[in-house]
Amino acid sequence: MSRPDVAGWGWFEPPLSPAATDPAADLARQAARVFASGDGEAVLGHLREMTLTRCLGPESGDAALRHLEGQRHLVLHLLALVARGQAGG
């Protein structure tokens, strides 16, 4: 990418590839490909089952609740990446 503080010298730098311009979209497409197979869908289903549909009882301590919420956040992040990658970006 050309530096804005050195006007006129941008032609020295090679053009950016589409993947280099948006690494987040590239990561989303990669996640969609990883979990597109039947095996990948089974893994996502297992992660959903053990985190999103799991409830802890009233005797659960603060550490257990925080741990489960961290797991849920990670699984929801993966699901969002896959959905974004399937939507094209």
What does the alpha-carbon distance between residue 74 and residue 67 come to, in Å, rounded to a whole number? 11
Better-scored residue on pLDDT, 9 or 2: 9
Nearest residue to 72 via CA among 60, 89, 55: 55
Span 31-53, mean pLDDT?
A: 96
The CA distance from 77 to 20, in Å, is 22
Higher pLDDT, 27 or 9: 27
Residue 83 CA to residue 41 CA, distance in Å, equals 12
In the chain, where are the structural domains located?
Answer: 22-86
Q: What is the mean pLDDT of the chain?
A: 87
pTM exceeding the 0.75 threshold for the entire prediction:
no
The pLDDT-based confidence of 13 (bands split at 50, 70, 90) is confident
* Mean pLDDT on 25-48: 95
